[in-house]
Amino acid sequence: MRTATDWTLAAALLALGVLFCVWFWPARDWPTRDIVALLVFAAPPLLLGVARLAGARTAGYWGSVLALAWFSHGIMVAWTRPPELAFALLETALALVIIFAANLPGLRGRFGGRKRG
C-alpha cells in the first residue's frame, strides 16, 4: 500500500523530470547537445518516479542522493544565469521536496516517539 509520502515523492520526481524536459527542450532542431541534456537531466527523475510508483523501495534512496546534485545545480544556475532563475528555483524547491519525502519515513521512525505498552 502506498502512503502519501510515496505519492509525494513520485509526484516530485515526475514534476522534476517534466521541468527538465521543458527547460532543455531544443528551440529548433535536435542537436546532440540537447538530446544528451535531456537524457542526463530528465531521464533519471522520470525513471525514479515511475519506479517509485511501481513499488521500488530503493527509488527513494537514489532520488534523495541525486536530489543533492539537483539542489546544487539549481542554486548554481539561480546565481549565475538570471534568465533561468524561475527554472532554477523550481528545481531547487523540487529537490528539497524529494529529499524530505524520501527521508520522512526514517525521520518518523527515529524521532516519532516510542510506543508505550
The pLDDT, as a whole number, for residue 41 is 93
pLDDT tens-digit readout, 63-91: 999 999 999 999 999 999 999 999 999 99
With residue 15 as reference, give the H or E element that holds it. Answer: helix 4-24
Flag whether the pTM goes above 0.85. yes
Distance (Å, whole) CA 95 – CA 115: 32
Residue 60 C-beta-side C-alpha neighbours within 13 Å: 20
pLDDT tens-digit readout, 33-69: 778 888 899 999 999 999 999 999 899 999 999 999 9
Mean pLDDT of the 4-19 span: 95
What is the DSSP secondary-structure string of 23-61?
A: HH--SSS--HHHHHHIIIIIHHHHHHHHHHHTT-THHHH
Nearest to 91 by CA among 72, 112, 116, 115: 72
Do residues 44 and 66 make contact, with C-beta atoms less than 8 angstroms apart?
A: yes
Give the residue extent of every domain in the chain: 4-103
The pLDDT, as a whole number, for residue 42 is 93
The pLDDT, as a whole number, for residue 2 is 82
The pLDDT, as a whole number, for residue 117 is 56
User: Looking at the predicted structure, is the pLDDT value of residue 115 above 80?
Assistant: no
